[in-house]
Amino acid sequence: MVKKWIESRDKQPETEYEEAKRKFEMAIGKPFITLSVEIPTGFERFSNEFLKLEKDYQFHEEVKDLIKKRLLLYSRNKNHP
């Protein structure tokens, strides 16, 4: 039953909209990436806390700092992927 429901969903219009929206946002603003992060194995008991990270300002700042460090490392090595 679930398989039929999933197969019957028409995702094409939604996908086209999301792609167009992303291109527009990139054109008028700063570049951005969207990540899907799963809770690490063994930390399932923290699922409530994990879900709260999505709206946690401090967590977002920590991720930004990690990105800055990674980009600086790339610029120093010049051998980034």
pLDDT in tens, 25-49: 878 888 888 899 999 999 999 999 9
Average pLDDT over residues 12-30: 81
Per-residue model confidence (pLDDT) at position 71? 93
Domain count along the chain:
1
Structural domain for 65, as ranges:
2-77
In whole angstroms, give the CA distance from residue 5 to residue 10.
10
Residue type at 9 in one-letter notation? R
Mean pLDDT of the chain: 85
On whether the CB atoms of residues 78 and 71 are closer than 8 A, the answer is no
Average pLDDT over residues 74-79: 83
- Identify the DSSP state of 29: S
Backbone angles phi, psi at 14, to 5 degrees: -65, -40
Contacts of range 10-16, beta carbons closer than 8 Å, 24 or more positions apart: none
